[in-house]
Chains A and B, each alone.
Chain A
């Protein structure tokens, strides 16, 4: 009689479908997974430790590098937490531009998710199309901030500078063609029999389990839990916009796919509403103790130069206290918990990474399935290792 034994298979850290440096130690019975042990931390850079040694202004570029596929969402979460501590009001124009950029970032992040998720399952065409649209968003980033990925554009009190005049037309053009592109992707996938076979019934997690394990974002809504921080705990003026929050029913990969696609259409609607609200005005709050002076003052007056130098060298003091600000980042709830002791550096900054908590569910979602299905589960969780490892 033949004997069988379990096999240990090492997947990653270098593996095309683990989206970065994620290592999974799999215990296999034939091709069926019986145990998954994720091994993370390969990209740990100590962002929380570093931020304790930098001024509030200097921490901002570090946040770009957490979820590098959605830098503006990270900027937004951090800046809102700092502004909550400072208790300053942001001008209307800055709020509207922040929302446009946050939603563009959601589109950008979801496009990468769609591209890589489809590529992992074997649908290569979508990858090429989605990266074409992502390129336009990157160009918009470059237009406003000079950088394609690590934009570092927001500031406590508003924005680092106003957007150039061509920004509005570029975004409008892109948003008017985006629904057509989304139809293209759906045409390639939603009724594709191979896609349906790979995603329906894959990675099922019930609503109770999803809440218990702390999943947030589209992955939670795919399990039928109606929770979106933009609507339920509005920040940055989201309560003034009309949008739908899609939820799934069957808790599987296909429902999460549908939820994210509807979210992309809703993001386009929010951007359209925001573009209509875009009125000329200041983009930085009138609080000189926190905000840098305009560049012409720095170059042309000694007072402006001193002002600039003071903030750049010493930072600005932030009232003692502690706040937690959660934002609905493309991947889930991104939270910044900042403890201030009244100095110009955070005493402790904790980043609540959505991918880290969501990845915890991988064993529950993929245990008992085949290795190929695990690849689909990694794709549907939409993780970014820069954020998991911090």
Chain B
């Protein structure tokens, strides 16, 4: 992990914004403060050739962590063929983060999906609308407190026979 090129450079440049660095099964995850997310992502793209944003998603840690949501960005470097995962915690009371659309256009629909299913809003997003659910839908289905059966329905109790 110590010799990972991204980790070395990020430690130099963003020492104060890094919360945690983990390596698990050969995959490196760097967690940063959400106010620095755009700087970190654009630095990785401009200076370290992580030129592709593979995925943007979120995790709901309801009742498990102080800050409820975790934004997850999967980066890929086509010239160096390596991957990096950047995460940033987002609290429920301030449920917003800067949009990565200025850095990659890919983020447009991926962030719309996170907004649609988790209710995290993105600042400076060009077109923040629901994408999979209908526009008038209430609630955010991928949140842990959203019932699996959908709203106002009896939970499935298993087969009777």
Q: How far is the CA of A324 from the CA of B134 in the complex (A)?
A: 29
Residues on A with C-beta less than 8 A from B25 are 84-85, 87, 321, 323
List residues 314-341 of chain A with CB under 8 A from any CB of chain B.
Answer: 321-324, 326, 333, 335, 337, 339, 341
**Segment from B4-12, B13-21, B34-42, B77-85 that makes contact with A:** B77-85
Residues on B with C-beta less than 8 A from A341 are 64
A289 within 8 A of B: no
A40 and B131 contact, CB distance less than 8 A: yes
B57 and A337 contact, CB distance less than 8 A: yes
B55 and A337 contact, CB distance less than 8 A: yes
A323 and B24 contact, CB distance less than 8 A: yes
Using A41-B132, A44-B132, A227-B78 as known contacts, say yes or no to A214 and B148 having CB atoms under 8 A apart: no
Out of A41, A85, A321, which one reaches B133, CB within 8 Å? Answer: A41
Using A44-B133, A324-B85 as known contacts, say yes or no to A49 and B148 having CB atoms under 8 A apart: yes
List residues 72-123 of chain B with CB under 8 A from any CB of chain A.
Answer: 72, 74, 78, 81, 83, 85, 104-106, 108-110, 113, 117
Number of inter-chain CB pairs below 8 Å? 87
A7 within 8 A of B: no
What are 30 A-B contacts defined by CB distance under 8 Å? A40-B132, A41-B133, A49-B141, A49-B146, A49-B148, A52-B148, A53-B148, A85-B25, A87-B25, A211-B51, A213-B106, A214-B53, A214-B54, A214-B104, A225-B78, A232-B81, A233-B83, A321-B25, A322-B27, A323-B24, A324-B74, A324-B83, A324-B85, A333-B54, A335-B74, A337-B57, A339-B59, A341-B64, A350-B55, A356-B113
Min CB–CB distance B14 → chain A (angstroms): 22
Secondary structure at the B interface, as helix, strand, loop or mixed, is: mixed
Task: Encode A347-374 as 1/0 by CB contact (under 8 A) with B.
Answer: 1101010001100100000000000000
Interface footprint category on B: 35 or more
Q: A214-B54, A357-B110, A389-B132 are in contact. List 5 more A-B contacts (CB 8 A).
A: A41-B134, A50-B148, A322-B27, A337-B74, A357-B109
Min CB–CB distance A83 → chain B (angstroms): 10
A41 and B81 contact, CB distance less than 8 A: no
B54 and A326 contact, CB distance less than 8 A: yes
Residues on A with C-beta less than 8 A from B134 are 41
Min CB–CB distance A372 → chain B (angstroms): 26
Q: How far is the CA of A211 from the CA of B78 in the complex (A)?
A: 9
Name the residue in B24, B55, B142 with the highest tally of chain A Cβ atoms < 10 Å from its Cβ: B55
A322 and B78 contact, CB distance less than 8 A: no
Using A214-B53, A357-B106 as known contacts, say yes or no to A324 and B27 having CB atoms under 8 A apart: yes
Name the residue in A211, A233, A326 with the highest tally of chain B Cβ atoms < 10 Å from its Cβ: A211
Q: Which 9 A/B pairs are nearest by Cβ-Cβ distance?
A: A214-B106, A41-B132, A352-B55, A350-B57, A232-B81, A321-B24, A44-B132, A213-B105, A348-B59
Q: How far is the CA of A176 from the CA of B142 in the complex (A)?
A: 47
A214 and B105 contact, CB distance less than 8 A: yes
A212 within 8 A of B: yes
A89 within 8 A of B: no
Residues on A with C-beta less than 8 A from B67 are none
List residues 208-231 of chain A with CB under 8 A from any CB of chain B.
Answer: 211-214, 225, 227
- Residue of B with least CB distance to A321: B24
Q: How far is the CA of A368 from the CA of B99 in the complex (A)?
A: 28
Residues on B with C-beta less than 8 A from A323 are 24-25, 27
Q: How far is the CA of A326 from the CA of B76 in the complex (A)?
A: 11
